[in-house]
Amino acid sequence: MDDRLYIDPELVQFYDLENEGGDDVDFIMRFVGDAGSVLDLGCGTGALTAMLANGRAVTGADPAPAMLDVARKRPGGDRVEWVEGDARSLRLGKSFDLVLLTGHAFQVFLTAEDQRAALDTIAAHLAPGGRFIFDSRNPLAREWLEWGPDDSRRIIEHPTFGAVEAWNDAVRDEASGIVSYDTFYRIPADGRQFHARSRIAFPAQEPLAAVMAEAGLVVDRWLGSWQGAPYAPDMREIIPIGHKG
């Protein structure tokens, strides 16, 4: 984990302001049902994780200490077991009724080998009868085309700095399919600017299905949105839901 967007406290302070949750959080809160234990891989600052911990045994794992620092301090954070760990190699020695990897965190794994390793971790932590769910942006939707400076420019209200200017820029490597995108925050009051460059993969549904099968994961449903619509090539999301075979 060397992405400043997640490891630098100066940038992490903007994370929750940009990721308030929406249909994905609503879906997961319904989907969790009567699961008594949950593992949230790539939990970030733990907003969803803490919500899930009401009456459940919940573990949140993330490789970025700066994100976990925020998670531990949030309301309800004391109900969660927070673990610093990489989803490719994490082995907790226990199993869970539900394992999730949301917020498009799966896309930080840039190679098929790393993706398989993360899927192996999901399989390794599923209890008998347990379920998994994760999400990845559909490459056919070409969402990165919307991440140019003009389309992405926005104002964020920061509790200390007030109105902060934010924008992105992105370029896709045609050979690998990997998208490199820049995130900028500028504080108008004093001109300070924060910047991070990130890289994410956009695996297509068919190769993703193949590597999931190699990991012993069985998909019960493919969704194409957090509203619950079935996956189709024109949908923006790829959301597999399933169990260990």
Q: Which residues pair with 239 in a beta bridge?
A: 223
pLDDT at 6 over 90: no
φ, ψ for residue 83, nearest 5 deg: -130, 125
b/e per residue, 45-81, with b = 16+ CB within 10 A? Answer: bbbbbbbbbeebbbbbbbbbebbbebbeebebbeebe
Angle at 73 between CA 67 and CA 76, to 5 degrees: 110
Q: What pLDDT shows up at residue 21?
A: 80
Q: What pLDDT shows up at residue 1?
A: 59
| Helices 112-124 & 205-214 angle (0-180, nearest 10) | 50
Element containing residue 222 per DSSP (H, E): strand 217-223
CA distances, 223 to each of 43, 48, 185, 236 (Å): 21, 20, 33, 10
CA 128 from centre of chain = 25
What's the pLDDT tens digit per position in 19-41?
A: 888 999 999 999 999 999 999 99
Please compute the mean of the pLDDT values over residues 148-163 and round it to a whole number. 95
Q: Mean pLDDT across the chain, nearest whole number? A: 96
Q: What pLDDT shows up at residue 7?
A: 86
Residues 6+ apart with CB under 8 A from 51: 25, 29, 76
Q: What pLDDT shows up at residue 202?
A: 98
pLDDT band of residue 123 (cuts 50, 70, 90) is: very high
Please compute the mean of the pLDDT values over residues 5-11 and round it to a whole number. 88
pTM for this structure? 0.94
The burial class, CB within 10 Å (0-12 / 13-18 / 19+), for 161 is: middle
Residues 6+ apart with CB under 8 A from 55: none
